[in-house]
Amino acid sequence: MATDDELITWTVHDYLEGWYDAEAPRMDRALHPDLIKRRPAGGGGAILATDFLLEACAEGEGTRAAGRWVKIGMAGVRGDIARAVVRSLPCREYLHLIGTGGGRKIAGALGMPQ
């Protein structure tokens, strides 16, 4: 049986690798349908929802990244809620995950360029 850290790591990899490889179905596995991703004004000042992210993914937006690396840090796990800090190209993100019948899903994200 997988540990919480492994489940969270798999979810984050589905999210980012799906984005980088323009695999919207893979990215969709990681996202809660009600996800909201925010960027502060200094990082482009956007509020993005699941549908927008999946559409941008399918159009290949993530394939434009110049390099590709991911570092995942667990910031806390308690039952069905968790936080992860993700450092990647092109940004750093703070993810809030929740447990669902379909596994861990990213329900909220704060991110800005590295």
Give the domain CATH number at 36.
3.10.450.50
- What pTM was computed for the model? 0.90
Q: What is the CA angle 79-38-58, rounded to 5? A: 95
Instruction: Please report the pLDDT score of residue 1 as a whole number.
Output: 80
Residue 73: which region, alpha, beta or left (left: phi > 0; alpha: psi -120 to 50)? Answer: beta
- Average pLDDT value for the chain: 91
Model confidence band, residue 43 (pLDDT cutoffs 50, 70, 90): low
Question: For residue range 73-89, what is the model confidence (pLDDT) as tens digits?
Answer: 999 999 999 999 999 87
**Whether residue 26 has pLDDT greater than 90:** yes
The total number of structural domains in the chain stands at 1
Instruction: Please report the pLDDT score of residue 114 as a whole number.
Output: 67
Structural domain harbouring 85 = 4-113
